[in-house]
Amino acid sequence: MTAINSAQSAGHSKARTIGELKRIPDFDAQSNSLPVKNEIRRNLLRLIERGESLFPGVHGYEDSVIPQLVNALLSRHNFILLGLRGQAKSRILRGLVQLLDPEIPVIVGCEINDNPFHPICRSCRERVAAEGDNTPITWMGREQRYVEKLATPDVTIADIIGDVDPIRAARGGRDLSDELTIHYGLLPRANRGIFAINELPDLAGKIQVGLFNIMQEGDIQIKGYPLRLPLDVLIVFTANPEDYTARGKIITPLKDRIGAEIRTHYPTTVQEGMSITQQEAWTKRDSHIQIDVPDYLRNVVEEIAFQAREDKRVDRRSGVSQRLPITALESVVSSAEQHAARIGERHSVARVADVYSALPAITGKMELEYEGELKGAEVIARELIRTAIGRVFSKQFGEVNFQPVVQWFEAGNELKIPEDGATHQRFQQLSNVQGLMEHIGKLGVDNKKDEAAAAAAAEMILEGLWAHRRVGRSEERGFYAEKPQRAPDSRDRENPNRPRRTYN
């Protein structure tokens, strides 16, 4: 993305003093001294006019969040993103950097990045008065103009706004109330840039008041000493919606100064979620073992997150982050890698068993309600996987008749998928199941001789039939008839009091 005005592309970087800056041909002090909100506004409008993508890498917000965000920025508003975890809030805020000019001139050594033409700190004002056009300047890249802070209850005024530095005061023989003894906090250091505070409601009331004063008047108070410091900052926040609207968490005058509240959301369709996950998850690995992840399996992983977000046993106020499907998918690939390495194969296809192996990437990403706590995260996660498989199965197969497969099991046949078997062995066993392999085309397996892909797809079909209670399955991944003919024998397996064993 480029948002450059002509002066800045014209070799300005060579300017080392205010005088040299003024002598750059067609250097426009006016447009190079824009307040940051005007600078963003100007660059944003240009990008929109050129039809460029505004927040590359942010998906699913094109018709909801982004238009609201653009309005806030064009209005020169400070704003807050309200959303649950894992909704790309931080990514959006960091993306604002792309709307800044590539470089801006600042006075050398200034702690608050003073504009050479309008210095606001006392030391720069004194310096420019004394040195005039010989005042040295430097160029600041846009990445340095973004300052971010996670609000926690122990964040202090000194951290955010500043403190009086007694050592500096003593050294300079200055009074403590002298501006030159101030140690600036993060916000003044973000001058001429963007200051982001994550989880605003966790910030102490006293600091919220300090922020309000700056947003309102450009005044800061340090240790009771008022100081006029008209900072030029775009201030942006994030918060969990429920914390933000809870009475007493945010002081009203501060809320009043936040120009826009923009609600983020999770992907609205599974397809959208899949493309975000695909972009974020580390699945293409530079390794001698190559793992393919079939589309239906990516679909299952995404569906787990969708199911979890709907599940009453999962706390909706904290949400289910997009990081759940992302880390789960990475773990699925790793499980397949591990398996392939163990049996000495170079190429493999991830399968349903790998999704169960990804449980540790799933359980920690859901806050459970009381009812869920009683069951335990792992049980809930397994149920979510089963439901997800059932849904993907229905979507792929609809009304396909699997009666021959079901009958094969009802005739007393059983199939135990070996834990550490070679792909060929798995393929052979699954091929024995009557009527099973003829359906794998619907899962995108065109070449039935591709044993890894075929076996993985066949396994998915059996899992789908199990999810819909058409066949039974033991915890050791053995499949058998749901309504067995040899009842006593099989019923044992379904005894709920039987001790649980982990399986993959």
Binding site for Zn ion (CB under 5 A): 110, 114, 121, 124
**Buried b or exposed e, range 90-103, using 16+ CB within 10 angstroms:** eebbbbbbbbbbbb
> Using N-to-C axis directions, what is the helix angle for 451-467 and 295-310, rounded to 10°?
30
Give whichever of 110 and 304 is closer to Zn ion, judged by the CB atom. 110
Nearest residue to Zn ion on Cβ basis: 124
* Beta carbons of 325 and 358 less than 8 angstroms apart: no
Q: Which residues pair with 115 in a beta bridge?
A: 118
Give whichever of 187 and 236 is closer to Zn ion, judged by the CB atom. 187
Q: What H or E segment, with its residue span, contains residue 149?
A: strand 146-150
* Beta carbons of 351 and 336 less than 8 angstroms apart: yes
Give whichever of 40 and 110 is closer to Zn ion, judged by the CB atom. 110
The least distance separating Zn ion from the CB of residue 139, rounded to whole angstroms, comes to: 16
In the 8-state DSSP scheme, what is residue 291?
E
Residue that is written with structure tokens 């923009």 in the block: 262
Give whichever of 94 and 125 is closer to Zn ion, judged by the CB atom. 125
The least distance separating Zn ion from the CB of residue 8, rounded to whole angstroms, comes to: 21
Give whichever of 114 and 451 is closer to Zn ion, judged by the CB atom. 114
The least distance separating Zn ion from the CB of residue 118, rounded to whole angstroms, comes to: 10
Give whichever of 179 and 243 is closer to Zn ion, judged by the CB atom. 179
Residue that is written with structure tokens 């102490």 in the block: 204
Q: Which one-letter amino acid corresponds to residue 427? A: F
Find the largest Cα–Cα distance for the chain.
99
Give whichever of 214 and 250 is closer to Zn ion, judged by the CB atom. 214
Plot region of 21 (φ>0 → left; ψ -120 to 50 → alpha; else → beta): alpha
Strands 478-481 and 225-228: unpaired
The least distance separating Zn ion from the CB of residue 122, rounded to whole angstroms, comes to: 8
Question: Which residue from 123, 411, 373, 77 is spatially nearest to 234, judged by alpha carbons?
Answer: 77
> Using N-to-C axis directions, what is the helix angle for 423-431 and 451-467, rounded to 10°?
50
The least distance separating Zn ion from the CB of residue 35, rounded to whole angstroms, comes to: 16
DSSP letters of 328-349?
HHHHHHHHHHHHHHHTT-SEEE
Give whichever of 118 and 448 is closer to Zn ion, judged by the CB atom. 118
* Beta carbons of 276 and 297 less than 8 angstroms apart: no
The least distance separating Zn ion from the CB of residue 135, rounded to whole angstroms, comes to: 10
The least distance separating Zn ion from the CB of residue 53, rounded to whole angstroms, comes to: 36
The least distance separating Zn ion from the CB of residue 357, rounded to whole angstroms, comes to: 56
